[in-house]
């Protein structure tokens, strides 16, 4: 089961990266990890650095992917973003991408929420 | 989309308008935020509303939802905002046809259960009264103008009468308010169907206050207490004029039973009184599900472990205490000397003013507290001081300390002091062997004979009390009070002229016992009640003499 979840997550990140690339973002880093945790995607948008948290769900039986993005998780992403920036002062924001997959891991729904802080 | 739904906040006994603004935004990260000085229970409404909507077969929109409870500076607490929030969310997400005026004009009030049902919610009567106050027709509540009210109702001015949607279990409370439409809501689904005109919730018919039958149950009958004619007489006077009473006597002589017989001799609540009492009980959440109006005079007997806040009322959003729950009824303090001093002293203001002001950081409220105090006390710690046969073992100091627990100011406010001595054995053994006295035989006004002393049973006493109250009602028609004990000094001068001999007796007693000015006026009021019980127009010397007899403390 655990392995399956990781599979869903990895697939979700892949789909999100493609989706963002299609929207004109340049993905510069995937799975940036520190001792605090991981940032799924780091992208360069128009004049802005974007940290992206991806949440994927297979079916909606256990709730929407958005519900899995908690205040705690947001704080974690913020902290890691601070680490990544190392004090550099660049415009940046945190986005969230929610991906819903069907039983064959094909995307049914992709939603991109900008600036979720 | 933004939707505004009307609701109310209860502060003390007043309902204030609250607008529940619900915004369901197309843009933004999904979430549910509530602002507007929401208390903990309102914060938790998030989970209740969300689950209730989902479990009612509708969709909780996965969008950014912001709820504002206006005005922003009024603290709000409790579950009553669940319903307006749910209605707002469903309307703002297109699941209720929002083009209808009803959502904006009606008042929604009630707590949701997770399955979408509405739970009994306190304060619904206040919601009804508030709706009536904003009603354009605003018909008066009493019987005199009933015909006029019927005209409004008969004309079926749909949409003109304010509509309130409240939980079905509490809806009867509001049904006694004329000039509004009360919709009893069982669950969220039913309400949505009603608003979408899929099905119809029938509004409740107006309940005429005077038609509601009084609950006839009687716990104790006066006739069940052996002997104690003097105490029974004092109880009758207390019931007739609303005078405070304290009974002194050794353990086991019937003090508590006498006090518990008091509800059985009190007159029924007048319609206006019933509404006042119900308001307090509605706010306190003490009405039974489906109950509409309190029809019996309250009888409260708090244990002596009661805290000051429990007695007077309190809490950060202050709730009524025992003194307010006993409003227009009886507050019985058994073993009065055992109550903490602070609690007893706290009774002084309500006893004087008939209401309590409770001031807390968050709110300043005033509750009515016009009660008749009935207290029972032992004469000393061991209880046998003055007993004809048993010896008192208390030291002088112990007795003085015991009595000291009840301060002078409190005892001075009590009009009737009466001894409840040990009972003679002959009176006990002559107990009648018939069936216990029930409400039925009581209603028949049967006089209980036999060896139990010559005093009447509760049924007859009650008739006398009612007759005496009728006289008082007529006297105070234009004064806004009901009973003799509520008279201000000005009214005492107006309604209680004393003739020469009566005046002389009173003066003599005041000088001899060094009575306070308050005691002076209280004596006249008691004498007035005794005269009313006897059907006398004037206060005669004999009435004053009897009143004086109850001033000697145990």
Listed residue (A115, A116, A111) closest to A12, CA to CA: A111
Q: What is the pLDDT of residue B431?
A: 53
Q: Where in chain B is the domain with CATH 3.40.50.300?
A: 222-478
Q: Does A64 touch chain B (CB under 8 A)?
A: yes
CA atoms within 13 A on the CB side of B281: 27
Average pLDDT, chain B: 85
Cα B383 from Cα B393, distance rounded (Å): 9
Q: Does B28 touch chain A (CB under 8 A)?
A: yes
Q: Does A66 touch chain B (CB under 8 A)?
A: yes
Span A36-88, pLDDT tens digits:
788 999 999 888 999 999 999 988 888 889 888 888 999 899 888 888 888 88
pLDDT above 60 for B29: yes
The CA distances from residue B425 to B226, B422, B456, in Å, are 10, 9, 20
Please say whether the beta carbons of B22 and B85 come within 8 A.
yes
**Distance of residue B196 Cα from the nearest chain A Cα, in angstroms:** 28
- Express as a percent the part of chain B with pLDDT over 70: 88
> What is the pLDDT averaged over residues B464-469?
94
Q: What is the pLDDT of residue B152?
A: 43
pLDDT above 70 for B553: no
Contact B30 A66 (CB under 8 A): yes
Please say whether the beta carbons of B55 and B116 come within 8 A.
yes
Find the angle CA(B199)-CA(B203)-CA(B207) to the nearest 5 degrees. Answer: 160
Span B341-391, pLDDT tens digits:
999 999 998 998 889 999 887 778 999 999 999 999 998 888 888 888 888
Architecture of domain B2-207: 2-Layer Sandwich (3.30)
* Tokens read off for B61: 């929109």
Please say whether the beta carbons of A46 and A91 come within 8 A.
no
Span B374-383, pLDDT tens digits:
999 998 888 8
Dmax (CA) of chain A: 43
ipTM comes to 0.74
Provide the pLDDT confidence category of residue B425 given band limits of 50, 70 and 90. Answer: low
CA atoms within 13 A on the CB side of B463: 10
CB count in 10 Å sphere of residue B262: 24
Span B47-59, pLDDT tens digits:
999 999 999 999 9
Span B202-234, pLDDT tens digits:
999 888 877 776 666 677 888 888 888 899 999
- Express as a percent the part of chain B with pLDDT over 90: 52
Q: Please provide the distance, in angstroms rounded to a whole number, between the alpha carbons at the two ends of chain B.
A: 73
* Tokens read off for B148: 């006029």
> Lowest mean pLDDT: which of A65-79, B250-264, B424-438?
B424-438
CB count in 10 Å sphere of residue A29: 13
Q: What is the pLDDT of residue B158?
A: 44
pLDDT above 50 for B447: no
Angle between helices B82-92 and B188-195 (to 10 degrees): 50
Contact A66 B28 (CB under 8 A): no
Span B67-76, pLDDT tens digits:
999 999 888 9
Please say whether the beta carbons of B533 and B547 come within 8 A.
no
pLDDT above 50 for B536: yes
pTM value? 0.81
Which is higher by pLDDT, B429 or B156? B429
* Tokens read off for A5: 């979840």
Query: Which of B25, B29, B31 to probe by mutation at the A interface, max A CB count within 10 Å?
Result: B29
Give, as one character, the DSSP assignment of residue A31: E
pLDDT above 60 for B505: yes
Span B392-421, pLDDT tens digits:
888 999 999 998 888 888 888 899 999 998
Q: Bridge partners of B186?
A: none
pLDDT above 80 for B449: no
Q: What is the pLDDT of residue B282?
A: 93
Provide the pLDDT confidence category of residue B84 given band limits of 50, 70 and 90. Answer: very high
Please say whether the beta carbons of B287 and B298 come within 8 A.
no
**Distance of residue A50 Cα from the nearest chain B Cα, in angstroms:** 16
Q: What is the pLDDT of residue B433?
A: 44
Nearby residues of B257 by Cβ (< 8 Å), 6 or more positions away: B220, B224, B225
Give, as one character, the DSSP assignment of residue B481: -
Provide the pLDDT confidence category of residue B149 given band limits of 50, 70 and 90. Answer: very low
Provide the pLDDT confidence category of residue B423 given band limits of 50, 70 and 90. Answer: confident
CA atoms within 13 A on the CB side of B399: 14
- CATH code: domain A2-113 is 3.40.1350.10
Provide the pLDDT confidence category of residue B441 given band limits of 50, 70 and 90. Answer: very low
Q: What is the pLDDT of residue B522?
A: 92
Q: What is the pLDDT of residue A87?
A: 82
Q: What is the dihedral of CA B177, B178, B183, B185, to 10 degrees?
A: 10
Provide the pLDDT confidence category of residue B112 given band limits of 50, 70 and 90. Answer: very high
Q: What is the pLDDT of residue B136?
A: 64
CA atoms within 13 A on the CB side of B63: 19
Q: What is the pLDDT of residue B481?
A: 84
Helix ranges (DSSP H) in B476-516? 489-495, 500-513
Give per-residue burial for A80-105: e unless 16+ CB within 10 Å, then b: bbeebeeeeeeebebbbbbbbbeeee
Span A90-104, pLDDT tens digits:
889 999 999 999 988
Residue owning tokens 């002076």? B520
Contact B29 A64 (CB under 8 A): no
Q: What is the pLDDT of residue B223?
A: 85
CATH fold of B487-554, please?
Helicase, Ruva Protein; domain 3 (1.10.8)
Q: What is the pLDDT of residue B141?
A: 47
**Distance of residue A113 Cα from the nearest chain B Cα, in angstroms:** 6
Residues of B in contact with A69 (CB under 8 A): 29
Listed residue (B215, B110, B117, B103) closest to B173, CA to CA: B110
Name the residue in chain A with its Cα closest to that of B54. A63
Find the angle CA(B61)-CA(B62)-CA(B68) to the nearest 5 degrees. Answer: 70
Span B329-342, pLDDT tens digits:
999 999 999 999 99
Cα B376 from Cα B353, distance rounded (Å): 23
Q: Does B62 touch chain A (CB under 8 A)?
A: yes
Query: Which of A66, A70, A93, A96 to probe by mutation at the B interface, max B CB count within 10 Å?
Result: A66
Residues of A in contact with B28 (CB under 8 A): 113
CA B156 and chain centroid, separation: 34
Bridge-based pairing state of the strands A48-58 and A37-45: antiparallel
Architecture of domain B222-478: 3-Layer(aba) Sandwich (3.40)
Nearby residues of B319 by Cβ (< 8 Å), 6 or more positions away: B283, B284, B313
Which is higher by pLDDT, A27 or B445? A27
């Amino acid at each position: 089961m655990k392995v399956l979840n990781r599979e869903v997550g990895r697939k979700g990140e892949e789909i999100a990266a493609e989706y963002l690339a299609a929207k004109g973002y340049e993905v510069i880093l995937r799975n940036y990890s520190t001792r605090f945790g991981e940032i799924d995607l780091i992208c360069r948008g128009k004049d802005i650095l974007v940290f992206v948290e991806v949440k994927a769900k297979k079916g909606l039986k256990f709730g929407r992917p958005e519900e899995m993005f908690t205040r705690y998780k947001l704080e974690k992403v913020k902290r890691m973003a601070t680490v990544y920036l190392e004090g550099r002062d660049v415009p940046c924001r945190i986005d969230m991408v929610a991906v819903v997959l069907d039983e064959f891991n094909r995307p049914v729904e992709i939603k991109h929420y900008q600036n979720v802080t | 989309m933004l939707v505004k739904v009307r609701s109310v906040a209860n502060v003390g006994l007043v309902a204030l308008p609250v607008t529940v603004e619900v915004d369901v935004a197309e843009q933004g990260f999904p979430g549910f935020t509530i602002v507007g000085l929401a208390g903990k229970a309102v914060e938790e409404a998030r989970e209740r509303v969300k689950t209730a909507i989902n479990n009612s077969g509708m969709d909780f929109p996965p969008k950014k939802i912001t709820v504002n409870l206006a005005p922003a500076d009024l603290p709000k607490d409790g579950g009553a905002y669940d319903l307006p929030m749910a209605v707002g969310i469903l309307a703002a997400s297109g699941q209720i046809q929002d083009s209808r005026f009803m959502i904006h004009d009606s008042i929604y009030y009630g707590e949701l259960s997770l399955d979408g049902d509405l739970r009994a919610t306190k304060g619904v009567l206040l919601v009804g009264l508030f709706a009536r106050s904003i009603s354009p027709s605003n018909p008066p509540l009493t019987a005199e103008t009933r015909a006029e009210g019927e005209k409004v109702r008969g004309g079926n001015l749909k949409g003109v009468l304010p509509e309130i949607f409240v939980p079905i279990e509490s809806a009867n409370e509001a049904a006694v308010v004329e000039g509004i439409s009360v919709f009893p809501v069982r669950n969220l689904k039913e309400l949505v169907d009603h608003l979408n005109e899929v099905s119809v919730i029938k509004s409740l018919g107006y309940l005429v206050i005077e038609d509601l039958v009084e609950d006839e149950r009687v716990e104790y009958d006066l006739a069940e207490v052996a002997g104690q004619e003097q105490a029974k007489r004092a109880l009758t006077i207390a019931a007739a004029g609303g005078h405070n009473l304290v009974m002194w006597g050794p353990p086991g002589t019937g003090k508590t039973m006498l006090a518990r017989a008091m509800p059985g001799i009190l007159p029924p609540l007048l319609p206006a009184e019933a509404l006042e009492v119900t308001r307090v009980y509605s706010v306190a959440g003490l009405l039974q599900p489906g109950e509409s109006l309190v029809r019996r005079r309250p009888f409260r007997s708090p244990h002596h472990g009661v805290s000051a806040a429990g007695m007077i009322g309190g809490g950060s959003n202050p709730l009524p205490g025992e003194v307010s729950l006993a409003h227009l009824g009886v507050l019985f303090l058994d073993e009065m000397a055992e109550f903490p001093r602070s609690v007893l002293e706290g009774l002084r203001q309500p006893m004087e003013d008939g209401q309590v002001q409770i001031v807390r950081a968050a709110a300043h409220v005033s509750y009515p507290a016009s009660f008749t105090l009935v207290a029972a006390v032992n004469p000393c710690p061991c209880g046998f001081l003055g007993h004809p046969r048993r010896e008192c073992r208390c030291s002088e100091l112990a007795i003085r300390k015991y009595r000291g627990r009840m301060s002078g100011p409190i005892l001075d406010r009590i009009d009737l002091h009466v001894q409840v001595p040990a009972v003679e054995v002959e009176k006990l053994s002559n107990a009648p062997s018939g069936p216990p006295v029930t409400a039925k035989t009581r209603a028949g006004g049967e006089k209980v004979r036999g060896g139990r002393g010559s005093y009447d049973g509760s049924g007859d006493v009650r008739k006398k009390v009612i007759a005496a109250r009728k006289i008082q009602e007529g006297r105070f028609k234009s004064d806004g009070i009901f009973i003799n004990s509520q008279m201000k000094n000005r009214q005492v001068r107006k309604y209680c002229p004393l003739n020469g001999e009566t005046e002389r007796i009173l003066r003599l007693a005041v000088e001899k016992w060094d009575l306070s000015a308050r005691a002076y006026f209280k004596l006249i009021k008691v004498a007035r009640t005794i005269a009313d019980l006897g059907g006398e127009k004037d206060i005669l010397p004999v009435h004053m003499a009897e009143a004086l007899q109850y001033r000697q403390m145990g």
